[in-house]
Amino acid sequence: MSSLPSLSALKSLPAKHQPDYADADEVAAVLDKLRALPPLVFAGEVDSLRDNLASVARGEAFVLQGGDCAETFEGVTADNVSRKLRVLLSMASVMTYAAQVPVVKIGRIAGQYAKPRSKPTEVRDGVELPSYLGDAINGIDFTPEARRHDPARLLEIYHSSAATLNLVRAFVTGGFADLRSVHSWNANFARHTNAGEKYLQLAEGIESALAFMEACGVDDASLRTVDFFASHEGLLLEYEHALTRIDSRSDLPYDTSGHMIWIGERTRQLDGAHVELMRNIRNPIGIKLGPTASAADAVAIADRLDPEREPGRITFITRVGASQVRELLPAIIEGVEKTGRKPTWICDPMHGNTFATSNGYKTRSFTDVVEEVNGFFDVHHQLGTWPGGVHVELTGEDVTECVGGVDEIDEVDLSQRYETACDPRLNRNQSLELAFLIAQRLSDGRIERSGKLPVPAPPPVAVGANLPD
């Protein structure tokens, strides 16, 4: 990974789900501007995330990765970003308490503006136009002008992502992430919903732990600030290539559009442009594995992207569906583990569980989401491997996009606040309910693993030193 292939070399390879720009000169002018802009993230931050993911792979940490299905430019507001961040921090706090290991917090944020679609066009009332592919490519309004693939939107990705990252950095270091405030959000959820006694007990346990630390005088900065990383699917080759920079410390390429970049289920071809780009950057790489993936597929792409088997480099994000997770996942994990690799394993319980309702809404059932998560934990328990994290599409808003959950949303409720730009997301209460359920699984696993993880020894005391006669 000492050099970066040119964009023209990448474009000569198979590349699925790319925009169809009409004016090559316009594209070139936009890319020249992007290449001259400062990085959005820094190489040292990327290295830190890779180290954290190596800890996850060793079973010493857990990942929470979440955010919008598809970000929108108009969604870059302080209120929207803060609500999303609040949900993720709330989820992470209960998971940390339950697992008693650090939770690595990664947002689907500051770059998740493009989405592959199953059909390149859509038809309404006999009119056929290009499909909406995310704000990175075209607009959601069903007009020829809005649906044009516009390269100027690549610059807007950059500026929107920069604004989002500025907000996130200010929030996580400016008191918003204070653990005591985060806990109050969880306690309010547990006490004012019908989530059940077990959630309230967990919230009260965290409250007791915080009171204990306060009584001991613990006031560490880690209680008030957090590390928060940004990730997105590296779908748009022009954008990712233009944001890749050579690090002055190592002379190696880093994609500075985000800390972690993932390859989607539809673009993980071994001979494709996406894999070629990803194998030449230093970022941690996520790989989505759907129900058609085999162990051989996983091993082959891991060997292609990470021939040196660097800790923290590879994260497999499985999305096989609730009905198939217990059937399909064991063979994939066993096949990879037999090679001696220790990747990070993350469950995406969203993408394999989408269906259309009788009234025409694309949705997901909270029950199915929970079932895939439980299946993921069960399989790893069966194999003796570490269930390293979850990858969830969510929002901090009280939307009605997924059925079920603590508020018992049903199909007729979906029309009330169905606001997603693409796929249905868990709302605030559904996200917190999922966090409490995952926390219970982590707590059960911690009890079973007690004695297997190293416990720090107390500092030595010199016998007789400075003791009274």
423 is an annotated ligand-binding site residue: yes
Q: Is 69 annotated as a binding residue?
A: yes
Residue with tokens 């894999």: 275
Annotated binding residue at 265? yes
Residue 196 falls in which region: left (phi positive, over 0), alpha (psi -120 to 50) or beta: left
Contact present, 61 and 52 (Cβ < 8 Å):
yes
Could you give the 3-state DSSP secondary structure of residue 317?
strand
- C-beta separation of 19 from 31 below 8 A: no
**CA–CA separation, 184 and 162 (whole Å):** 30
User: Is 183:213 a contact under the CB 8 Å cutoff?
Assistant: no
446 is in an annotated binding site: no
CA-to-CA dists, residue 252 to 3, 245, 248, 363, 365, angstroms: 7, 8, 8, 42, 44
Identify the burial level of 396 via C-beta atoms within 10 angstroms of its C-beta, where 0-12 means exposed, 13-18 middle and 19 or more buried.
buried
Please enumerate in sequence order all residues whose Cβ is within 8 A of that of 289, keeping only pairs 6 or more positions apart, or say none.
265, 297, 298, 316, 317, 318, 319, 320, 332
For residue 124, what are the β-bridge partners?
127
The backbone region for 390, taken as left when phi is positive above 0, alpha when psi lies in -120 to 50, beta otherwise, is beta
Q: What are the φ and ψ backbone dihedral angles of 260, each rounded to 5 degrees? A: -125, 135
Q: Annotated binding residue at 319?
A: yes
The helix/strand/coil state of 314 is: strand
User: Is position 347 annotated in a ligand binding site?
Assistant: no
What six digits make up the tokens of 457?
Answer: 């020894």
According to DSSP, residue 246 is labeled E
Estimate the share of the chain in helix, then strand, then coil, as percent rounded to the nearest 5.
Answer: 45, 15, 45
Length of the chain: 469
| E strand segments, 164-266 | 228-233, 244-246, 253-255, 260-263
| 198 is an annotated ligand-binding site residue | no
Structure tokens at 30: 């936009």
Residue 255: which residues within 8 A CB-CB, separation 6 or more?
A: 234, 240, 243, 244, 261, 281, 283
Phi, psi for residue 463 in degrees, rounded to 5: -65, 130
State yes or no: 108 annotated in a binding site: yes
Beta bridge partners of 316: 287, 345
Annotated binding-site ranges for Mn(2+): 69, 351, 393, 423
Annotated binding-site ranges: 69, 108, 265-266, 288, 319, 351, 393, 423
Annotated binding-site ranges for phosphoenolpyruvate: 108, 265-266, 288, 319
